[in-house]
Amino acid sequence: MIPDGAVPGRMQQDTPVIIDTLQRPLRDLRISVTDRCNLRCTYCMPRAIFNKDHKFLPRAELLGFEEIARLARSFIALGVQKIRLTGGEPLLRRNIEQLVEMLSGLHTPAGEPVEITLTTNGVLLARLAQPLRNAGLSRITVSLDGLTDETFRRMSDTDMPVGTVLEGIDAARRAGFAPVKVNMVVRRGVNDQEIISMAEHFRNSKIVLRFIEYMDVGSTNGWRMDDVVTADEILERIASHYHILPMTPDHIGVVSERWRYADGGGEIGVIASISRAFCRDCSRARLSTDGKLYTCLFATRGADLRAPLRAGATDAALAKLIAERWQQRADRYSQLRQAATQDLTAASPGQKKIEMSYIGG
């Protein structure tokens, strides 16, 4: 059933186009399955948030797998074609492969399978890569911010050796994930000295390495513009060692700018969320661990879907709630921040934002 307010048109056959106030459709859903993590990365879950008042969500407040699957079906009915599981660290959620299996069986109204992907820090991946693949996971992305133990520990703020993550990446390749993507958040003076070594390590490996500009997500990571190594600078550093050529984007709304090595050594990507904001094409909704719908990574509040779900709302009623929230969406935080950082007279979007560890990356 198409909820009231769906606009005429089709994303693909029999799929309603739900658009926001800036004419952006709903295509992607990110689901945070836990607010817990086994690392304390300084840009995501810095130890500063773990003061005496911090409390993780009690189990009863987390969405159950059946609840997640049911809400996912409502999003799919409105146009979602890809679901990414995030956290916190999603592999900490017990029996996560069971959720993957439930979601991997979902299809769009046109009968196309929904792509199910997952982003992980890789610490538990060596053990879970094959079960996740067997359960139907389509693709996997691993966060890795350095190759030396010193740099990795500086970014993750733990004593975990980087070899644990590298073993997880190898296990994902052996399990048949292709390509495995590796994300490196780059922070000036902290890990930017390993840009070239990361590029060299993953060249000719069929693994796609993506460099991400250090973002001002949440309110506790101490973000400063001076800490950002821009996509242009990253590309200049790589181009000083290797001949790289631009690639055509996969589709509208893709956030990574793709480049390939001229000698056939594979490809890299840059995600320029600070220097080249991509709000105009953003088609992502985010479902938090406790069932709130957020329409931006930099949101200040979300719409509660768990309460009506547990109160017995029908699928049609849930879809209508989602559609109404999306149609009111006007988020473009990164564009406003970009204007503020380039023009000191512009208004700065300085509101207190939801932490990435709660809403997912």
Q: Cα(54)–Cα(47) distance, rounded to whole angstroms?
A: 10
Q: Cα(49)–Cα(214) distance, rounded to whole angstroms?
A: 18
Amino acid 48 reads A
Q: Cα(172)–Cα(176) distance, rounded to whole angstroms?
A: 7
Q: Is the separation of the CB atoms in 119 and 361 below 8 Å?
A: yes
Model pLDDT, residue 275 = 84
User: Tell me: the pLDDT tens digits for 69-105?
Assistant: 999 999 999 999 999 999 999 999 999 999 999 999 9
The yes-or-no verdict on residue 295 having pLDDT over 50 is yes
Q: Is the separation of the CB atoms in 13 and 110 below 8 Å?
A: yes
The beta strand positions in 161-254, using DSSP E, are 181-186, 208-213, 244-246
User: Tell me: the pLDDT tens digits for 121-178?
Assistant: 999 999 999 999 999 999 999 999 999 999 999 999 999 999 999 999 999 999 999 9
Ordered by where they begin, the domains of the chain are 7-359 (3.20.20.70)
Instruction: Tally DSSP H helices, then E strands, for the chain.
Output: 11, 14
Specify the higher pLDDT residue, 299 or 235. Answer: 235
Amino acid 292 reads K
Q: Cα(107)–Cα(119) distance, rounded to whole angstroms?
A: 21
Q: What is the pTM of this model?
A: 0.89
- Cα 169 to Cα 181, 207, 290, distances in angstroms: 9, 9, 29
Q: Cα(218)–Cα(31) distance, rounded to whole angstroms?
A: 17
Cα 238 → chain centroid: 24
The dihedral over CA atoms of 312, 316, 320, 322, expressed in degrees to the nearest 10, equals: 70
Question: In the predicted model, what is the mean pLDDT of the chain?
Answer: 87
